[in-house]
Structure 1
C-alpha cells in the first residue's frame, strides 16, 4: 500500500497545468501584440501623431495585428482544451473570491472570442451584425486585455510553479507532443493566411483572403454611388483645376503600398501631382465625390501634405485611374491606412 501511495496520479497530459501555462504564455504574447498594434491602427485613423516614414510602417503594424490575431485562434482553443475539466468542477462556486475569479475568466473568454471572431469577419469584409465594427472591436479590446491582465496577475504563482515540471519522462513527452502540435497548428494557420501582407508567402498562403495580382478594391465606384460630372474640377481654396490642367502640371511617380485595415497590403506605382505643389502649409481637409460613408472626408496632417511622396494620383501602374481606383484623382500618401487614401477627390482645403 505504501508503494502504491507513492505512484504518480495519472492525469491527461493536455489538461496539465504545465501545458496550460505554456500555451497561456504564448497566447498572452499574441494577444499583447494584437492589442498594441490594434491600438496604433485606431490611433492613426483618429488623428494620433503618426510619422510619414518608413513608408511601410503601417503595413507592418497592421500585418502584425492580423497575423497575431490569426495565431491567437488555435492558441485560445488549445488553452481552453487544456483547462476545460476545471471549468466544470463541482461546486461551480466555492466562495466569493472563487466566484470573482470564475467571473473574470468568463469575461476573458467571451471578450476574446468576440475580438477574434469579429476580426475574422472584418478581414473577410462580412458584417452579419448591426453594430459598428471599429467602435465595438476597439471597446471590447480593452475589456479583453484588462481581463487578461487580471487573469495573469492571479495565476502568476501557478505559472511559475508549473513551468518547472516534476513528472515522469513519459508524461513529459506526451505534454511536449501536445505543445508541439499546438505550435505546429498555429504556424500553419499563420503561414496559410500571412501572404496577404508578407509578399514572399503569397504563393503558399492558401487561405489568404486577397490573392496576388491586380491591386484589390474594397469599395467600388458603384458601391459608393459615384457619378463624376462632365465638368468636374478639383477645388483647391479659391482655385480650381480641370483634369486636363492637372495632367499638364509636373508629374511625379512613386511606388507606395496600399495597406488596408483588414491586413492585406500591396505595392503599386502611382503618378500624379504632389499635394505640396497644390496647397500651402497646414492640415488639409480632403473631400470625396462620395456622398455617404465614414471616409468621404478625411484629414491629411501637414507633415503628410508636405511630404514629396504624397500625391494627388492620376495614374496607377502607368494607366489612367479606373473608376474603382478613384478616377478622376485620388490621394496616395506614405504610411497611411488604405481607408484614409481618399478616392474620387473633389476638393483640398487648407485648415487654419
Structure 2
C-alpha cells in the first residue's frame, strides 16, 4: 500500500482558514473543561484548605454541566480539526534544524493531544457506565491528563501562532495560507464545514447533558440512568450490597463528638424538627435534577452531642467498598441550614435506591459526595 503524500490532498476545504477557526472553538472548549474540571476535582477533596462556597446551591450543577458539555463538544471539533490538517502529517521533515524543530514540536504536540483526548474520551465513557477495568484512579488520572492535553494544545498554538493570527483576521475564503496544491473545490463551502463543526459539537453536548433539561431527559442518550422520583440513580441499593442492613430493625445512626455518642433510629429522627429544601443532585457525569428533600437538619443532630460550630464532619455510609462511602463536609456545609439528613423525597418516604433509611443532601455538592445509607456522623477535631 502506497503511503500518500501531501500532494495527494487537493481540497480547498483543508485550509488554514478552516483549521484556525475550528481550532479556536476547540481551544475554548478545552479551557472551559479545564477550569470547571479543576473546580470539580477540588470539590471532591477532603479537608479543603479554602472551602468552596455553599451558595448558590446550584453552582456545582452549573460548573459540572459546563464541564461535560464542553468536553463532549470538543470531540467532533477535534475530529474535524484532524481531518482538515491531515495532509500536514505527510509533509517531509525539513533538513535544517531551525525549520525542523517547529515542525517536530507541531507534530509531537498533535500526537500528544490526540492520544490524551482518546484516553480521556474512552475512560470518561466507561466512567459513565461505572465500569473500571483498570487499576488506577479515574478521577486523578482524568485530572492529570487534562493538563497534558491543554499543554499540548498550547504548544501547538504557540508554534502556529503567526499562521493562526493571519487566518483568523482574514476572510474565510482567503487562500494566502493554503497549501499550493489545495485548489480543488469541495462538495460544500468552507462555511459549510464550519456549520457542520458547530452543529456536531452542539448535538454531542446536547445528547450528553439533556438530562439536566426538564422534559427532554429521555434524549440524553449518552448519560441515561434509571430513575426514581424523576431523579437518576447511579448505584442501586442492591448493587451497593446494603439492602439487608438498611432495612434491618437494628439500624441506628450514630452521631459522635469525642467521647459523646448518640444512637438514633429512623423513628427518632422523624420525631425531631423536620425541614424541607429544594436542592439538586448534580453528578460528576454532567446530569443534574432537583428534588424536594425533607428531613433533619444536620446542625440539629450535631447539637445533640454538643458539637461546636466551625468543625469538619465525616459522614460514613453502610456500604464500605465505594469511594463515596466516606465523605468529609467542610464546616460551612456542616453548619448550613440547608444541609439535611434526608428522610423524604418529594413528599414520599425515601426509597432504598435513593438512600433509605437516611442520606446526606447538602447545597452545592457533587452528587458522589451526597452520601447514601448514612450510618455514622463524626465531628472531627
* TM-score, normalising length: structure 2: 0.83
Q: Does 1:236 align with 2:255?
A: yes
1:179 shift after superposition: 1.1
CA distance in 2, matches of 1:207, 1:223: 22
1:160 shift after superposition: 0.8
Structure 1: runs of 5+ lacking an equivalent: 1-9
Aligned pair in 2 of structure 1 residues 93, 114: CA closer, same or farther (>3 Å)? farther
Residue pair 2:226, 2:233 contacting (<8 A) in 1 also: no
Structure 2: runs of 5+ lacking an equivalent: 1-8, 177-183
1:132 shift after superposition: 2.5
Aligned pair in 2 of structure 1 residues 139, 207: CA closer, same or farther (>3 Å)? closer
The residue that corresponds to 1:342 in the other structure is: 371
CA distance in 1, matches of 2:13, 2:127: 32
Query: Bigger shift: 109-118 or 74-83?
Result: 109-118
Residue pair 1:105, 1:147 contacting (<8 A) in 2 also: yes
1:186 shift after superposition: 1.8
Q: Deviations over 1:203-261 (max 9, x none)?
A: 65555524776321111112221123422211112222121111100111111111111
Query: Bigger shift: 155-164 or 327-336?
Result: 155-164
The residue that corresponds to 1:277 in the other structure is: 300
- Count residues in correspondence: 342
Secondary structure, counterpart of 1:77 in structure 2: helix
Residue pair 2:120, 2:142 contacting (<8 A) in 1 also: yes
Matches within 5 A, 1:114-263: 114-163=119-168, 164-165=170-171, 166-167=174-175, 174-199=189-214, 201-202=216-217, 205=220, 208-210=223-225, 214-226=230-242, 227-228=245-246, 229-237=248-256, 238-263=261-286
RMSD: 2.3
* TM-score, normalising length: structure 1: 0.90
Secondary structure, counterpart of 1:111 in structure 2: helix
